[in-house]
Amino acid sequence: MDDDLTKNSAEYDSFIHPADQKSGFRQIIRNILLNSTINVVSQQQTVKRKATELAWSELL
């Protein structure tokens, strides 16, 4: 997952104007986007876990 976040960080950096990359604005935007990525991954894991639990409960 860290490799994905590193890759995403580089992609996010490319969207920010070079003049803004030296300011705190860059870090704020980057943090927002990274947190969004982490939240989506976390939600996907929760859905997979719930689906697995449901499948097992159907079998038992």
Model pLDDT, residue 11: 67
Provide the pLDDT for residue 9: 64
**Non-local CB neighbours of 59 within 8 Å, separated by 6+ positions:** none
In tens, the pLDDT along 1-60 reads 456 655 666 666 666 666 666 667 777 877 787 777 777 778 888 888 888 888 888 876
CA atoms within 13 A on the CB side of 22: 2
- The answer for residues whose C-beta is within 8 angstroms of residue 11's C-beta and 6 or more apart is none
So what's the pLDDT on residue 26?
A: 72
pTM of the prediction?
0.42
**Whole-number pLDDT of residue 56:** 86
Burial readout 22-42 (b: 16 or more C-beta within 10 A, e: otherwise): eeeebeebbeebeeebeeeee
